[in-house]
């Protein structure tokens, strides 16, 4: 991206209303046409030298204002990135959430970090990723090791492996690799609706968000996208060398909502938390793992008291490991 492009992008009020501003980041076009990402910010009245950048999961976007509040209360300016083809960044000509290589997200992550550090003067940057965003940010932090870009990494139920049978994770993955190369947009799966219906206020949940950007049934899972994810899983499984402190949090249990619907409010029904706990040590040399009793997939959206425990554990870790805590 050129300096001229950066100058053309300006903040304006976000859909979340007062206190939230949004800025479009123009990216290199791909085979579908123009591509953008979207940077959302909420800053403290007095400003801060420390900032956090939040990155959402699959079939998701930033809407969790209470998460932003928690970081502001801790003395951080808050930023969130809607990745290309997600949420605020999705355009009519695009396949929702589609990508064929997770490395492509480096462009918007690099640009968001540049804006936060160079343009807006933050000395400390914490990156926080949820689910697929946890996989994406882990791989990016690994590739940016030694560059002083990421001071700490927070992973909320990061997606480190398929929540599937051994057959699907081995022979099934080999088939996805072949199909993803030959027919990348062929549909190979879909999401269930139980988790989304549990969350959304319209169907009795606690949270309000745009169902066009985060539909209960998600978007179709296509071969090219799943191939990219499985390549990311394989790289992480071989071991990363992230050189900053890492906080990994997940629920203490996984369940199947079709078989145990009564446990949807107290377990992760999306990922196998044993995969998260087992692979966390492969991220780098300084990893803290927290298991949140009663937590759901997005720990920040868990019912109480699990939600408060997640924020409390994150706060303790932040005070111990994030630079500038004594300011």
Cβ contacts of residue 65 below 8 Å, gap of 6+? Answer: 16, 20
* CA neighbor of 327 nearest in space, from 122, 160, 168: 122
For 156-209, the pLDDT digits (tens) are 999 999 876 554 656 567 777 777 787 888 998 888 999 999 999 999 999 999
Q: Assign 327 a pLDDT band (cuts: 50, 70, 90).
A: very low
Question: Is the predicted pLDDT of residue 298 greater than 80, yes or no?
Answer: yes
Pairwise CA distance, residues 155 & 279, whole Å: 12
Q: What is the pLDDT of residue 178?
A: 77
For 232-272, the pLDDT digits (tens) are 999 999 999 999 999 999 999 999 999 999 999 999 999 99
Mean pLDDT in residue range 30-52? 95
How far is the CA of 45 from the CAs of 40, 122, 258, 278, in angstroms?
A: 16, 15, 46, 41
Say what the pTM is.
0.94
Pairwise CA distance, residues 215 & 146, whole Å: 39
């Amino acid at each position: 991206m050129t300096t001229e492009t950066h100058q053309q992008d300006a903040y304006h009020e976000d859909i979340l209303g007062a206190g939230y501003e949004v800025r479009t980041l123009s990216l290199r076009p791909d085979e579908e046409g123009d591509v953008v990402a979207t940077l959302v910010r909420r800053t403290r009245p007095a400003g801060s030298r420390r900032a956090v950048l939040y990155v959402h999961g699959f079939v998701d976007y930033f809407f969790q204002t209470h998460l932003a509040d928690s970081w502001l209360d801790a003395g951080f300016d808050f930023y969130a990135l809607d990745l290309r083809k997600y949420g605020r960044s999705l355009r009519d000509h695009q396949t929702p959430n589609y990508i064929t290589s997770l490395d492509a997200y480096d462009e918007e992550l690099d640009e968001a970090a540049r804006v936060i550090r160079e343009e807006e003067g933050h000395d400390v940057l914490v990156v926080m990723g949820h689910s697929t965003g946890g996989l994406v940010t882990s791989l990016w932090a690994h590739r940016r090791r030694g560059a002083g870009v990421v001071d700490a990494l927070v992973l909320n139920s990061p997606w480190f492996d398929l929540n599937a049978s051994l057959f699907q994770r081995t022979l099934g993955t080999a088939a996805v690799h072949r199909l993803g190369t030959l027919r990348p947009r062929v549909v190979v799966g879909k999401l269930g609706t139980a988790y989304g219906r549990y969350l959304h206020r319209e169907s009795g949940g606690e949270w309000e968000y745009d169902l066009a950007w985060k539909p209960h049934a998600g978007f179709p899972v296509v071969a090219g996208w799943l191939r990219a994810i499985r390549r990311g899983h394989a790289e992480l499984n071989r071991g990363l060398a992230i050189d900053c402190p890492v906080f990994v949090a997940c629920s203490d249990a996984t369940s199947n909502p079709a078989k145990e619907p009564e446990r949807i409010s107290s377990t992760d029904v999306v990922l196998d938390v044993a995969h998260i706990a087992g692979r966390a040590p492969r991220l780098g040399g300084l990893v803290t793992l927290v298991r949140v009793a009663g937590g759901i997939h997005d720990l920040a959206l868990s019912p109480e008291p699990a939600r408060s425990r997640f924020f409390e554990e994150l706060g303790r870790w932040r005070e111990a490991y994030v630079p500038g805590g004594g300011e």
